[in-house]
Amino acid sequence: MQREMRHELRSRRSWLAILLYIASTVYITYLAFQHDLDPVTWNALFWILIIFISMFAASGSFAGREGEMLYIYTLVSPRKFIMARLLYNGIFMLLVSIAAYIGYSFFAGNPVGNIVLFMASMLLAVWGISSLLTMAFAISGKGGGGFTLMAVISFPLLVPLLITAQHVSSISMQAGGDNYVGSLAALFALDAIIAALCYLLFPYLWRD
């Protein structure tokens, strides 16, 4: 069942839209800073980019699926649906953020010293962000508030993820940093908490 869901969701037309969005946001950010970016600013801007792109990607994933929802509701248990959805969105967001990273490095340089650590922080953080935004979008979808509501709901909840991710990636700017294990563990724990909450709470949202 899970695999079926994933394959079904894979055929999307919006790949081009997302890539275009990444390209334009990266380029605009680059244009806004005429001189070379120091690592701290680079880091901050990178995570802001990731937020915007995630919001866009998350909103795209739920749009235009109203008719299908009833059909899916009768077929699949909500728990499986949300796991499949989280999995798919997580992988999708990861690819998107790697693309963003490549694009950003292309324009603004790549001051990352410890690539492995950076990638680890990106992997964990992006997974958490995508799960949270998926859940937030599900909530706001039921609420009928649209994009504003989703932004309002998701922003405060995103902040611990972002702060921790920024902390780890700023450590990764120096080649081989120290004192990062605690924050990485914190990121992982946050992801686990978010995923568990989504898993537990989604069926209640689903009943409609």
Partner 1 sequence: MKLLNASWWKVLCVIFLMYTVIAGFLVEVPHLPILHETIRNLYFHVCMWFSMMFIFTVSLVYSIKYLMKPEEDSDIIASEGVNTGIIFALLGLITGSLWAKYTWGAWWINDPKLNGAAITVLSYFAYVVLRSSIDDEQKKARISAVYNVFAYVMMLVFVMIYPRLSGVDSLHPGNGGNPGFNAYALDYHMRIVFYPAVIGWVLLSAWIASINIRLERIKRNNHN
Q: Which chain residues interact with partner 1 by CB under 8 A? A: 135, 139-140, 142-145, 149, 152-153, 155-157, 159-160, 163-164, 167, 171, 179-180, 182-183, 186, 190, 193, 197, 200-201, 204-205, 207-208
Q: How far is the CB of 29 from partner 1 (least distance, A)?
A: 23
Residue type, 118: F
Rounded CA separation 155/67 (Å) = 29
Q: Which is nearer to partner 1, 20 or 152 (CB)?
A: 152
Q: How far is the CB of 192 from partner 1 (least distance, A)?
A: 11
Q: Which is nearer to partner 1, 65 or 142 (CB)?
A: 142
Q: Which is nearer to partner 1, 51 or 98 (CB)?
A: 51
Rounded CA separation 113/119 (Å) = 11
CB atoms within 10 A of CB 161: 24
Q: How far is the CB of 159 from partner 1 (least distance, A)?
A: 5
Give one word for 144, left, alpha or beta, with left for phi > 0 and alpha for psi -120 to 50.
Answer: left
**H/E element, 173:** none
Q: Which is nearer to partner 1, 122 or 171 (CB)?
A: 171
Q: How far is the CB of 139 from partner 1 (least distance, A)?
A: 6
What's the gap between Cα 204 and its chain centre? 23
Q: Which is nearer to partner 1, 90 or 141 (CB)?
A: 141
Q: How far is the CB of 141 from partner 1 (least distance, A)?
A: 10
Q: Give Cα separations from 75 to 65, 70, 71, 78 (angstroms).
A: 15, 9, 7, 9
Rounded CA separation 83/64 (Å) = 20
